[in-house]
Amino acid sequence: MHLAQLNLGRIRGPLEHPALQDFVNLLEPINALADESPGFVWRLQTDEGDATAIRVFGNDMLLVNLSVWEDVESFRTFVFGDEHRAALRRRAEWFAKMDPPHTVLWWIPEGHVPTVEEANERLALLRSRGATAQAFPLVRPYPEPSSQ
């Protein structure tokens, strides 16, 4: 099994806006850091490697981060590593506050590539039922299901 994660963020303005320049400048190095991190498997992106060009749910201000990791620890190590954590500290500058939860994790069979629609369904589960084995937050991860 692998771990899938979705993180939604509503940017405060168009990516071309000067207030978002630091965020835009960090995209490539942070994505490269994720791509090279131990346990990283896959992330949603265009053929050009751009995830910000993917718009979802009819909202041009909503950015989606959808990725797959080998396990919770690999993902946690990346998220709370120094470089990514430094960017996280500045998220209020770039992203409008959203009603939580706006992130969700769930287990998928190895080799499965999750879709945005599937991820949205998992987020809806987390919002309606709270943390379960089918949809949970990073702060309350559920163990990998048995493969038996």
Lowest pLDDT segment from 58-62, 89-93, 130-134: 58-62
Res 55: pLDDT: 83
Q: Which domains does the chain have, with CATH numbers?
A: 2-129 (3.30.70.100)
Closest CA to 125 of 116, 117, 113, 134: 134
pLDDT of residue 146 exceeding 90, the answer is no
DSSP letters along 41-92, please?
EEE---TTS-STT--BTTBTTEEEEEEEESSHHHHHHHHTSHHHHHHHTTHH
Q: What is the mean pLDDT of residues 117-144?
A: 96
pTM: 0.93
